[in-house]
Amino acid sequence: MENKELVKLSELIKLRNKVEIEAAEILEKPLLIGNVGDYIASEVFDIELHKDKKKKACDGYFRSGLLKGKSVNIKFYGRRGRLLDINQEALPDYYLVMMGEPTKLSRCPWNIESVHLFRAEEIEEELKARVKLGTATSVRQRYWEKAIIYPHNNSEAYKISVEQFEMLELFAPEKE
């Protein structure tokens, strides 16, 4: 066959299928960015995930540490931005947001450049005076900076351990 591009594409699709099947076996769920984020967060931050995904605005509870027993809504955004999905009708105690790099690509790599921890009640209070809360709520940069816990820490509420830092580094963008 002379169509090298078609042959290459078929090889890449076979590789992708293999990767998706293996990853789905680890997750015990389909390979979707939300499922991946939930799994990573549960392992790194010792979060007990709900078995029932129908629970609004709460993915699980912290099992240990200062936040033990507190509810958390996990977000994994492949692209760095300033938007946060907030459900006012069912606020968790915390939002844990993992974000990738800033990019203009429509399909962005799944990596973690930063992690932010917001106390839901606090961020809701600060935002509702100036913006409409809901899907894709615009959050000012200063709030993102105040809530950062990885790769450096600005949060007074939570300090990650060396082990947690090392686990998150597994998903850091590759340095060129």
Domain count, the chain: 2
**How far is it, in rounded angstroms, from Cα 145 to Cα 49?**
27
Q: Has residue 101 been placed in a domain?
A: yes
Q: Is the same domain home to 10 and 79? A: no
Specify the CATH number for the domain of residue 140: 3.40.210
Q: Has residue 176 been placed in a domain?
A: no
Higher pLDDT among residues 7 and 52, named by residue:
7
Q: Is the same domain home to 85 and 17? A: no
Q: Has residue 174 been placed in a domain?
A: no
Q: Is the same domain home to 62 and 124? A: yes
Q: Is the same domain home to 26 and 106? A: no
Q: Has residue 145 been placed in a domain?
A: yes
Q: Has residue 150 been placed in a domain?
A: yes
Given a cut of 70, is residue 132 above it in pLDDT? no
Using one digit for the tens of pLDDT, what is the confidence trace for 138-176?
788 888 999 999 999 998 889 999 999 999 999 998 876
Least confident of 19-28, 47-56, 110-119, 149-158: 47-56
Given a cut of 80, is residue 54 above it in pLDDT? no
Using one digit for the tens of pLDDT, what is the confidence trace for 86-103?
877 788 999 999 999 887
Q: Is the same domain home to 27 and 37? A: no
Q: Is the same domain home to 44 and 131? A: yes
Higher pLDDT among residues 56 and 150, named by residue:
150
Question: What's residue 125's pLDDT?
Answer: 78
Q: Has residue 175 been placed in a domain?
A: no
Which range marks the domain in which residue 16 is found?
1-31
Given a cut of 90, is residue 48 above it in pLDDT? yes
Q: Is the same domain home to 25 and 52? A: no
- Taking the CB of residue 92, how many other CB atoms lie within 10 A of it? 24
**How far is it, in rounded angstroms, from Cα 144 to Cα 139?**
7
Q: Has residue 94 been placed in a domain?
A: yes
Q: Is the same domain home to 111 and 162? A: yes
Q: Is the same domain home to 2 and 73? A: no
Q: Write down the H helix ranges in the chain.
A: 4-27, 33-44, 120-128, 141-147, 162-169
Question: What's residue 134's pLDDT?
Answer: 66
Q: Has residue 108 been placed in a domain?
A: yes
Least confident of 40-44, 79-83, 119-123, 147-151: 79-83
Q: Is the same domain home to 105 and 86? A: yes
Question: What's residue 53's pLDDT?
Answer: 65
Q: Is the same domain home to 67 and 25? A: no
**Half-sphere exposure of residue 82: CA atoms within 13 angstroms, side-chain side:** 9
Q: Is the same domain home to 128 and 158? A: yes
Q: Is 95 exposed, middle or buried (0-12, 13-18, 19+ CB in 10 A)?
A: buried
Using one digit for the tens of pLDDT, what is the confidence trace for 4-41?
999 999 999 999 999 999 999 999 999 999 999 999 99
